[in-house]
Amino acid sequence: MEALVLYEEISQLLTLEGVEKKQGRHPEQKDLGQLENASMVVNADSNLIVWVGKGDDLPSQYKDLPHRFSGKDQVWIPELVECHTHLIYGGTRHHDFALRCEGKSYQEIAAAGGGILTTMKATREASGEALVEHAAKDLARFQKFGIGTLEIKTGYGLTLESELRALEVIRALSEHAAMLLVPTFLPAHATPPEYKGRTDAYVDLICAEWLPEVAKTGLASFFDVFVENGYFSAQQARKLLHSALDQGFKLKVHSDQFSSLGGTQLGIELGASSIDHLDHISNEDIRALGESKTVAVLLPGASLFTGTPYPPARELIDAGARVALSTDYNPGTCPSRNLPLMTTIACTQMKMTVPEAIAAVTYNAAAALDLEDRVGSLTPGKEFRVCTLDADSYEALPYCFGEME
């Protein structure tokens, strides 16, 4: 009992118990587990929740705990989960933005040597120390938005040396961050200039040499691939993803951002944890995602910043898909760390309800990282990771454009 801590008088608390029971499908207000004048008992040694409920229902064995704190005038929700970022990079891409404002498309800029390859050059030239310093500042900004779990992809080095360096940066950040960081190996983000016109050879190299080498280090949990015109075909992605599975990686897929090329079908077939973007997903693939366990990760900030259509959130949710939201933080298509703002955009532009948006940045985002058994809801046995809102209701999160204390 010495390790137990009582948090009491919490004005409003969301457990997301109902969302958890429904595995994130069709979240409604009644599924948020809303409690008024709530209490929570936490084991400080394990940082696990022991009990949660209404204050009046607090079991007698916890009523005299010496370690107790008040949550009066506070709203508690699960700490937010950011499930798709490209946080390790050098340089900036403001010139790409200026070109898009003049009418150039993302693909046109990339074909002219801009886009991902601009960031690749700056990332290759940056030292590991500089990358750590830059990324640490970004993590601090993310944390101010209530984010406690964050996925980080490689993909801006595109050599084995620089991709391993990025993964080592993530490990170095993990050693000092209060946040839970999830590393993803994304060498198939673009074809590097050394392999221009020889993407098949680059794919072969990743499969034969890079994946086994990274697997030996244990530095990455997931493998990801960008399926898109001018990047990687579904056939190339199939080879990469099968090789990644053989090496013990869990899978993610960038798919249907600008065109539908079969990446979504492939990801579902191979049991990917998530398929991300989906701006141009087909009706057939919407139905397939609704029947699968794979999480649909939607990135409205990228659509806003590039002026492309928003992904069909309403259709995906109505089909039964588990829908998560993310910033897609990166220097080219969404240089924003404001995950709460993504809920605002989702509600106003993508026809999502507030409960759906809350579930999308908590439980469903955790499911996109295979972490729903640890984070994303506030139920007994889960980690004690709480986002505290200075508000009178959780509804303030999407209402305030992310501008909350």
Interior CA angle at 21 toward 266 and 14, to 5°? Answer: 115
pLDDT digits over 257-274, tens only? 999 999 999 999 999 999
pLDDT digits over 370-394, tens only? 999 999 999 999 999 999 999 999 9
Spatial separation of the C-alpha atoms in residues 24 and 36, rounded to whole Å: 23
Look up the CATH architecture of domain 80-367.
Answer: Alpha-Beta Barrel (3.20)
Spatial separation of the C-alpha atoms in residues 259 and 268, rounded to whole Å: 17
Nearest to 115 by CA among 137, 127, 135, 100: 100
Nearest to 143 by CA among 79, 49, 89: 79
Examine the pLDDT at 109 and tell me if it is beyond 90.
no
> CATH 2.30.40.10 residue ranges in the chain?
4-78+378-393
Work out the average pLDDT over 81-110.
91
Examine the pLDDT at 405 and tell me if it is beyond 80.
no
CATH code of 4-78+378-393, in short, is 2.30.40.10
Q: Tell me, what's the pLDDT at 373?
A: 98
Report field, pTM of the whole predicted structure over 0.75: yes
pLDDT digits over 284-311, tens only? 999 999 999 999 999 999 999 988 899 9
- Answer for the pair 123, 156: CB distance below 8 angstroms, yes or no: yes
pLDDT digits over 12-70, tens only? 999 999 999 999 999 999 999 999 999 999 999 999 999 999 999 999 999 999 999 99
Examine the pLDDT at 404 and tell me if it is beyond 80.
no
- Answer for the pair 323, 362: CB distance below 8 angstroms, yes or no: no
> CATH 3.20.20.140 residue ranges in the chain?
80-367
Q: Tell me, what's the pLDDT at 195?
A: 96
